[in-house]
Amino acid sequence: MTDSGAFSVVPILGAAFLCPWFRYLVNADKRHYYAINQYGMYSTEEQIIPEIAYTIVRRSAWVGCAICVFAAIFIGPMAFVGAGGAALMSFTMTNFRSVPHKSQCLFDGYAKLDHIDGIVYELCTTNYHYGFDLMIPESKLTSIIDVIKQYNDTFEEEFIDLYKDSKFHARPIIQEIVR
């Protein structure tokens, strides 16, 4: 007979280590900053990841660098044949920091604000056809529209129904259950 206790602990330990990694690094919350002036709208998107996560990655990278150096000293340069990728990754991750994503949408006299879903909007101009994604709360929407109108000669606002031409239509949600 085999002992199945060890096989049931391995997935639990794996899930315990992967859940924080997935929550704080893969599915992290994002902070959006917007700035509007007469030239255009500028956006900065930054992930809200605790600094302790970056510190853990930097410290483990330094440990990996030390292991690679000791392997090169004791085993020789042939140690990097199999572990060269790990060595390069360790030396690269010693300065791991949060990098904000910056983008811009320049005004050119025409602006169109597409309301996609909830608080998601898309700003289109003549030179920027594909849309500049915005996350605008309802309380800030009118002030942002006023500023965009102020800096553009033509302003349009449109609600886009993404599921209008879809093959499958949503069924109405049952509001109450009668027994």
pLDDT recorded at residue 168? 59
31 close to 48: Cβ distance less than 8 angstroms: yes
pTM check: above 0.85? no
Distance CA 121, CA 158 (A): 10
Per-residue pLDDT tens for 88-138? 777 778 888 888 888 888 888 888 888 877 678 888 888 776 777 887 777
Q: What is the mean pLDDT of the chain?
A: 78
pLDDT recorded at residue 179? 43
CA angle 46/52/54 to nearest 5° reads 60
pLDDT recorded at residue 51? 83
Which pLDDT band, with edges at 50, 70 and 90, does 160 fall under?
confident
The length of the chain, given as a count of residues: 179
User: DSSP string of 21-44?
Assistant: HIIIIIS-EEEEEEEE-SSEEEEE
Per-residue pLDDT tens for 15-38? 888 887 787 777 778 888 888 888
Check whether 165 has a pLDDT greater than 60.
Answer: yes
